[in-house]
Amino acid sequence: MPDLDKPHLHQLTVGETFTNLGTRPGGLSPEEAQQRLSRYGPNVLKEPSHYSLIRGFLHQFTHFLAILLWIAAALAFTAEFMKPGEGMATLGWAIVGVIVINAVFAFFQEYKAERAVHALHRLLPARAWVLRSNQPHDVPRSEIVPGDVLVIEEGEQIPADARLIEAAEMRVDISSLTGESQPKRRTAEPVADGHLLDIPNLVFAGTPVLSGRGRAVVFATGMQTEFGKIARLSTSVETDLSPLQKEITKLTRIVAMISLAMGASFFAIGLWTGLGFWISTIFGIGIIAANVPEGLLPTVTLALALGSQRMAKRHALIKQLTSVETLGCTTVICTDKTGTLTENRMRVARFYVDHLEVEVRESCLVIAGRVTSAIEAEEYAPLFDAIIHCHNAKRVRRTDGRLTVTGDPTEVALVE
């Protein structure tokens, strides 16, 4: 079995790398691959706990304000049972209706956001080419094991962390790991120490190959990859109540204490004035139920939902409704720029030909203030023809079925 001593793999020669990882230039045999799959496990990221429909729906009925409303409804039904005909049952059913309608509405909003978030978790390729017994095999990503020899082509994504043994003009995009969009050159030559992600003879899972080709020996799979470490960190973050949730919980407790105090006071006043025990009890229950803010829950939910819908129109995904208020009081956001505030893609804004500036817009060109289509600009036909034919960019079909252009960022911008 391989040593998997990752910290010094970049310092080894190609031959020493094979020895260290217990493999050969022609790759593992199918039997060896199966043994290592049993030992190291599949090359997949551990999925975060899936959104439970039942748990998510029940949560809408069990937060602090909802519990207070349930208590108010129960008190109203109790008062109706003790003295029918006073209209307390109507109040009880109205409170129950508020709870149910609010729960369904809030659950639907958060469920839609949860589905959208899960649709974003598709960065690793579904299959990859490896050498097995000196023959190329197209295998599922999950079956790649340490010691496998990857066959890497331009436009593909690296399926696991690996040490390059061959590299021809290879450049990769590691912005998903570092946030730096500049393509990184890769080589198979041994190098001295450096920051792990900057070492030129290592490639990492989830990073696309912009240009060139090569072969590499896998040394880490699944959650042991650098991509897996990021996934582990992102799923281990503990969530806290939002400022709005804290304030509503505080308000609910205050209202509950005031309601109980007023109910007890009016119960005592009723007994003191000679109303009798049961009438005083009903009177106190009515005071408690009347002090519960039935309209607070739907009002807050509706306001947050409207904010969420407005942000959705601007392509901002709100996973939890309470996050809307948190974002509203945010003064500073610390975030990686690449792929968040920017698209991590270049676009042609203008070009210069024969001392003339030409502005490129979405569907037309602006030449000296004159708007024209690219087809009508015949004087630039040789330039466009050169762009179309002189590049190494490729059109590839993504796992979601859509076509995209991959390769050197400058060439991708020209082709698109």
Whole-Å CA distances, 366 to 4, 13, 346: 57, 54, 19
Point out the catalytic residue in the list 336, 354, 385, 408.
336
Nearest to 407 by CA among 345, 339, 362: 345
For 307, the token pair is 């904010």
Listing DSSP states for 221-264 in one string gives -GGGSHHHHHHHHHHSPPP---HHHHHHHHHHHHHHHHHHHHHH
Contact 268, 79 (CB under 8 A): no
Q: Is 408 a catalytic residue?
A: no
Element (H, E) at 216: strand 209-220
Q: Which residues are CB-neighbours of 97 under 8 A, at least 6 positions away? A: none
Distance (Å, rounded) from C-alpha 117 to C-alpha 380?
A: 44
SS3 200: coil
Q: 101-108: which pairs have CB atoms within 8 A and are 24 or more residues apart?
A: 101/298, 102/60, 102/66, 102/297, 102/298, 102/301, 103/57, 103/60, 103/61, 103/66, 104/60, 105/298, 105/301, 105/302, 105/305, 106/60, 106/301, 106/305, 106/321, 107/56, 107/57, 107/60
CA-based torsion, 189, 194, 200, 206: positive or negative: positive
Residues annotated catalytic, as ranges: 336
